[in-house]
C-alpha cells in the first residue's frame, strides 16, 4: 500500500529539487543580464523568494525525517529542458530566457497546486498552508514574466535591428 503521506513526501522531494533548479536558473539569468535592469530586478526578487521556498519545503520534509534529494529525475529533465530553452549564449537569449522562465513558473504552479491537494489528503494542514503561501509567489512571477515579455521583445528587436551589442542580454 502506498499511503497519501508517502505520495506527499515524494512530491515534496520533487518540489525541493525543483526549487534548487529554480535557484540555479535564476542565478544564471541574473548573472548574465546586463541591459534589461527591470527584468533582472524581478529575477533577483524571485531568487530571494525561491530561497525562502526552499527553506519552507525543506522544513516540511524534515518533519517527516525525509532528506531532500537534489537529484531527482524531474530535476534532471527540467535541467535539460531549460538548457534547450534557456538559451545561454544564443543571440536572442533575453527572449528565450523570458519564455523559459514563464514555462518554469507554470510548472511550479502545477506542482504546488498538486501539493496542496496531496497535503490535504494526507491530513497535513501545515504543509498545505506552506504550499498555499508559496503558490501566489509563483503565480505573481509567471504573470509578471508574461506581461513583460512583449516589452522585452520590443526592446530586443529594436536593439538588434540597430546592431546594438546590448540587445542579446
Which stretches of the chain bind Mg ion, using CB under 5 A? 22, 50, 53, 108
Rg (CA), the chain: 17
Residue 124 interacts, among Fe ion, Mg ion, none and using kind-specific CB cut-offs from 5 to 8 Å, with none
Residue 104 CB, shortest distance to Fe ion, in Å, is: 7
Reading the block at residue 92, the C-alpha cell is 536572442
Reading the block at residue 61, the C-alpha cell is 520534509
Nearer to Mg ion, 50 or 127 (CB): 50
Reading the block at residue 90, the C-alpha cell is 544564443
HEC assignment per residue over 73-134: HHHHHHHHHHHHHHCCCCCCHHHHHHHHHHHHHHHHHHHHHHHHHHHHHCCCHHHHHHHHHH
CA distances to 63, 91, 103, 130, 140 from 31, rounded to whole Å, are: 34, 17, 20, 29, 22
19 binding Fe ion? (CB under 5 A)? no
Residue 109 CB, shortest distance to Fe ion, in Å, is: 8
Nearer to Fe ion, 20 or 155 (CB): 20
Among 14, 93, 108, 124, binds Fe ion (CB under 5 A): 108
Among 128, 138, 144, 145, binds Fe ion (CB under 5 A): 138
Residue 111 CB, shortest distance to Mg ion, in Å, is: 8
Nearer to Mg ion, 11 or 156 (CB): 11
Nearer to Mg ion, 104 or 156 (CB): 104
Amino acid at each position: 500500500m502506498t499511503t497519501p503521506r508517502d505520495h506527499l513526501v515524494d512530491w515534496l522531494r520533487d518540489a525541493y529539487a525543483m526549487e534548487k533548479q529554480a535557484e540555479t536558473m535564476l542565478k544564471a539569468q541574473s548573472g548574465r543580464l546586463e541591459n534589461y535592469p527591470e527584468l533582472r530586478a524581478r529575477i533577483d526578487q524571485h531568487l530571494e523568494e525561491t530561497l525562502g521556498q526552499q527553506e519552507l519545503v525543506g522544513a516540511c520534509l524534515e518533519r517527516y525525517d525525509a532528506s531532500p534529494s537534489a537529484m531527482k529525475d524531474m530535476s534532471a529533465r527540467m535541467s535539460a529542458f531549460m538548457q534547450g530553452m534557456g538559451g545561454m549564449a544564443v543571440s536572442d537569449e533575453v527572449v528565450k530566457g523570458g519564455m523559459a522562465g514563464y514555462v518554469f513558473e507554470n510548472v511550479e504552479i502545477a506542482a504546488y497546486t498538486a501539493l496542496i491537494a496531496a497535503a490535504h489528503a494526507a491530513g497535513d494542514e501545515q504543509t498545505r498552508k506552506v504550499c498555499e503561501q508559496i503558490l501566489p509567489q509563483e503565480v505573481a512571477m509567471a504573470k509578471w514574466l508574461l506581461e513583460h515579455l512583449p516589452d522585452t521583445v520590443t526592446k530586443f528587436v529594436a536593439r538588434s535591428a540597430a546592431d546594438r551589442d546590448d540587445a542579446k542580454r
